Structure 1
């Protein structure tokens, strides 16, 4: 393999990044590598140690494979989100395009007090650092409601599929076509993520909201997404969430239908660059083109976007894609081919 081809190949591998740190710290020092290029690594192995004002943080790998390359030298101070190393997983899906985020920090359960502190710090940082823009749209759910009723009537076991599963899957599928809403803004600018890990907003005791990840949401079925969502709710409300579950999301979705709110206008969880909100599905009068008035099941959807990465025009197209998927729910069950990318790694036509 030529040197140029070798470089191009290495750029397609999963990238381990500098993890988020405690409180609102933005930089840390990589003090020691525990794994060297050529070493075999397994999911959960500690590969490096990062130090900051909050103390040392272990960096864990989330893939099995071979550590190919260190991208940062020891005793270097770097911003959160900086690429640290690359891992060859040996899997074709991980050799398709750059940007895969593969970072796990020290696995530990978080207390309610820690969750509250971390959430408050993240929101303060969001308001301070992220130039938000907000968009909203009203989506008709007539076909989605009928499809859901039919699907649940044919289920012979398990719990009924909720509408929120369709919301989560629609965002996961839509963001494949609009990658600038899926990733992280770091000290070096926007870093898209090849994986789609939708963070789902969950209210726990004390009025705290957390948003752990449903991993690879775009590849999962609606039933799997619903099951993962239920499990995350149980973990969050019983105090059994792990740190990595809160640090993995590439985009967050807030479904507050059970709270009875009409719409959601959220703040982005840094270093993410977008948040999608759904209010309570409800019946509302809708005027048709012929002047008649009908009653339809609708939901108000919103988008909080980061002006540094996208703008209202692109955001409106993203929301329209989500609406189209919800109005054609059969698409959420179809297998989708990998997105076509140009040599620069951008999805064509977006």
Structure 2
């Protein structure tokens, strides 16, 4: 019999109230199914299950406040039959082509200037938070403007409950950041990275895509970050009575709330996602985060955090590590800057990248090599 426990959904969370069971005794469940909805101080959260089996008994009544770690339900594990083993063996025998190979094979590079979709520079960052698939210009080659994006936005009606939840989120962030400054010995590094190749590659890639399929710079930044973390796994970890490395790369992505404050949902398994899959995940999770409708794993599974600044904002952002993580990466605004290369000075599109690391887990040498690796991957966007 498997015990399903009330998970911890935040650094300072102690309990939550069970609002509704989504499953009943006798129901079959599998990894990722939603088993219940609970309410914390900050929002309603759907709780996922990570086992396979049949619901045996629900031990907690709806409306009950549950401390973290309490047994909520008993689950009969899935029986492994000879047929199951046969199916698993067949699946294991299927060769998988790497995501990188599929991306490389799909590239048929037309000229950079041969574009049918254009966006104003400001829109490039605004669109990171919005779905451009609903926006069309009056002419095929017309530049999409900021006004066109804003005119298509659905304005949410803010309720008193949403306001109180947002205020609770701000309070939790303040508590976590205070804990971080008290307990974590930070070190900070910064590197300027030339983004010209990335932006040129995006122009070529987007010229062959519909507006709904457009890629944005942030998707490549996230993918490059994941590839560099594979080389420096000590940064993809938590500190809990010592360094604990994480196998999965779940990048927490900072999302600003319309009511003020931030929330940091996790993008799961970024290391095995393609750039298109990362873009789809962003388009899905950002509106749900702003509506405060995230699942429990999306709030608790981050192994490292990434924060970015929109165009026209600050050139550099220095993050504060969110405990128990051991690093946070910051991307400033992409802007045109003087850039020296091969004894020549030119104007290039650059971004300032920062790393804040926990000195108990890593040191400046590891952090510096990570930033060098990140730069290497961004100079070869076709390999991402």
TM-score (normalised: structure 1): 0.66
Larger CA Rg, structure 1 vs 2: 2
Give SS of 2:197's match.
helix
Question: Do residues 305 (structure 1) and 293 (structure 2) align?
Answer: no
The 1:26/1:310 distance shift into structure 2, 3 A limit, reads farther
The corresponding residue for 1:284 is 337
Question: Do residues 136 (structure 1) and 190 (structure 2) align?
Answer: yes
The 1:186/1:25 distance shift into structure 2, 3 A limit, reads farther
Give SS of 1:257's match.
coil
The 1:321/1:247 distance shift into structure 2, 3 A limit, reads same
The corresponding residue for 1:211 is 264
The 1:22/1:280 distance shift into structure 2, 3 A limit, reads closer
The corresponding residue for 1:245 is 298
Unaligned runs of 5+ in 1: 1-15, 28-39, 48-56, 67-77, 80-86, 94-108, 333-350
The alignment yields a C-alpha RMSD, in angstroms, of: 3.5
CA distance in 2, matches of 1:179, 1:18: 29
User: Which of 258, 261, 276 is 1:223 aligned to?
Assistant: 276
Q: CA deviation at 1:122?
A: 1.3
User: Where has structure 1 moved over 6 Å in runs of 4 or more?
Assistant: 87-93
Higher helix share: 2
CA distance in 2, matches of 1:182, 1:122: 19
Give SS of 2:212's match.
coil
Question: After superposition, what is the alpha-carbon deviation per residue over 1:310-336, rounded to whole angstroms, capped at 9, x for unaligned?
Answer: 00000000111111111111221xxxx
Question: After superposition, what is the alpha-carbon deviation per residue over 1:173-206, rounded to whole angstroms, capped at 9, x for unaligned?
Answer: 111111101121113x111111111111111134
Q: CA deviation at 1:227?
A: 1.6
Question: Do residues 325 (structure 1) and 377 (structure 2) align?
Answer: yes
Question: After superposition, what is the alpha-carbon deviation per residue over 1:188-243, rounded to whole angstroms, capped at 9, x for unaligned?
Answer: x1111111111111111343111101111111111111121122210122222234
The 1:17/1:177 distance shift into structure 2, 3 A limit, reads farther
Question: After superposition, what is the alpha-carbon deviation per residue over 1:73-105, rounded to whole angstroms, capped at 9, x for unaligned?
Answer: xxxxx99xxxxxxx9999899xxxxxxxxxxxx
CA distance in 1, matches of 2:48, 2:212: 35
The corresponding residue for 1:261 is 314
The corresponding residue for 1:294 is 346
The corresponding residue for 1:340 is none
The 1:259/1:251 distance shift into structure 2, 3 A limit, reads farther
The 1:182/1:214 distance shift into structure 2, 3 A limit, reads same
CA distance in 1, matches of 2:289, 2:278: 16
Question: Do residues 232 (structure 1) and 285 (structure 2) align?
Answer: yes
Query: Mean Cα displacement is larger for which, 243-252 or 193-202?
Result: 243-252
The corresponding residue for 1:62 is 50
The 1:138/1:65 distance shift into structure 2, 3 A limit, reads farther
Q: In 1, are the aligned partners of 2:311 and 2:334 still within 8 Å (CA)?
A: no
Count, aligned residues: 263
Pairing of 1:1-350 with structure 2 (within 5 A)? 19-20=7-8, 24=12, 42-43=30-31, 61-64=49-52, 111-156=165-210, 158-187=212-241, 189-258=242-311, 260-290=313-343, 292-332=344-384
TM-score (normalised: structure 2): 0.61
Q: In 2, are the aligned partners of 1:181 and 1:274 still within 8 Å (CA)?
A: yes
CA distance in 2, matches of 1:58, 1:206: 22
